A and B are shown apart, each in its own frame.
Chain A
Amino acid sequence: MNITVTVNGRPYTRDVEPRLLLVHFLRDELDLTGTHWGCDTSNCGACVVWLDEVPVKSCTVLAVMASGKEVRTVEGLERDGELDPVQQGFTECHGLQCGFCTPGMLMTSRWLLDRSPDPSEAEIREAVSGQICRCTGYENIVRSVRWAAEHSSREVAQ
């Protein structure tokens, strides 16, 4: 099937099998390997991307379902060469070790902060509760998101 998916603002047209999952479309067809692929069963959250502005687990979405829609991946977080505050926060607060869960954590965190710019620790933990990190124990992830909340884009850019 011929599909056109807009990813990080750029339209991509590909001929795909209907059974191709969005995560593999991004990684294998578009070479956007920032999105990770872990459990394959919608449990781990490594594959989270935005589909029409909403975080979804891309291992459980068909690429054909994204046709005509907008996808945003971790590669689309930075703007004009500047890291997004959540990326900066994860760097500042050691929010990752191996980095496997990080793309999904970043996408969910950005979404949380867009809707709730000053989230409590409980809100942050709830927001990432469908995502598994085997390294950090989540403490530093929570700190990283708080750091991002306290530093607006402009401050980070400066």
Chain B
Amino acid sequence: MQVPANFEYAKATTVEEALALLARHGDEARVVAGGHSLIPMMKLRLARPEALIDINDVAELSRIRVEGDALCVGALVRHAELLGSAVAGEHFPILHDAERVIADPVVRNRGTVGGSLCQADPSEDLSAAFAALRATAVIKGPDGERTVPVREFHTGPYETVVEAGELLTEVRVPIRPGGSSAYVKVERRAGDWPLAAAGAVLRLADGRIAEAGIGLTAVRAEHFFAAEAEDALRGAVPSEELFAEAGRIAAAHCDPGSDQRGPADYKRHLAGELTIRALRRAYERCMP
């Protein structure tokens, strides 16, 4: 039987209360929401927080809404809620593509968007999706609110810019007309982590690609995106050849390692091929 080490437990019902509890419990406190990453790590004693601050009852963090020209996704939104959100799917099909293949339906009922980002697992899907979308993370702390582009949010495997005493509260995704998006993943069996996955976001203007976002998961792409492939796409006329070229560049610029999920060269191949497929699908979706 796997049992976490002892810890103190406190429930917050507002962001202010959560921040106060974090301040009181100091560096060794961790925020828990769905707990589907943290609790397993605590069972294995890979994590041993002295205090858990439970934010499951912080209702203000559970909202999905459009504000100005952005879709705002609260940190406590469950994966199942993002998957079920019509407004999220309408603007960003990439989010529904990704959510459909994150873990399994029962885990998705509990796991949260914010928890996934903060866990910062290199194989986690939403990090690449939000990086491709050029989303912004909203972080609250004792000194107020700050925003950080998701492309700068991760500082390494399992590490983010969120400091002790701070709380990720929301992810904002800019809504831009004239585009679409897609996410494609290869996993070994239903609900597993990806061998590799790619997300593509395209915005078209006058028959050319005005802006492109390419997110890559599980292949050690720096900050989960493929800058060089995006450069090749920007300003170009979409075509199969162009997408193939972007795939080649994306594969060349990631650095997958061999592990129990698969060998590095296969993952690199997938990074390229899945980039092409995601671009193709995003482009098809741009068509009325």
Contacts and interface: CB of A to CB of B under 8 A. Distances in A.
B287 interface: no
Interface in B20-61: 32, 35-36, 39-40, 42-43, 52, 54, 56
A1 interface: yes
A62 B35 contact: yes
A26 interface: no
Interface stretch (B104-112, B153-161, B215-223, B251-259): B104-112
Please provide the 9 A-B residue pairs with the shortest distance between their CB atoms, ordered closest to farther: A130-B104, A18-B9, A19-B4, A130-B106, A129-B190, A54-B109, A56-B110, A40-B2, A129-B104
Interface residues of A, number: 28
Nearest to A54: B109
Interface stretch (A41-49, A87-95, A140-148): A41-49
B70 interface: no
A72 interface: no
Nearest to B33: A65
A18 B8 CA distance: 7
How many B residues touch the partner, as a band? 20 to 34
Contact of B105 (A19, A40, A51, A126): A126
B266 interface: no
A91 B54 CA distance: 40
Given A48-B106, A61-B39, A67-B11, 5 more contacts: A19-B3, A19-B6, A62-B32, A64-B9, A129-B105
B109 A19 contact: no
Given A42-B40, A130-B191, A60 B1 contact: no
B103 interface: yes
Contacts of A64: 9, 11, 54
A55 B54 contact: no
A19 B7 contact: yes
B106 A61 contact: no
A42 B36 contact: yes
21 contacts: A18-B7, A24-B1, A40-B1, A41-B2, A42-B107, A45-B104, A45-B106, A48-B106, A55-B106, A55-B109, A57-B36, A57-B110, A60-B35, A61-B35, A64-B9, A64-B54, A67-B11, A108-B105, A108-B106, A126-B105, A130-B104
A21 B35 CA distance: 11
Nearest to B4: A19
B6 A65 contact: no
B5 A60 contact: no
A130 B105 contact: yes
A73 interface: no
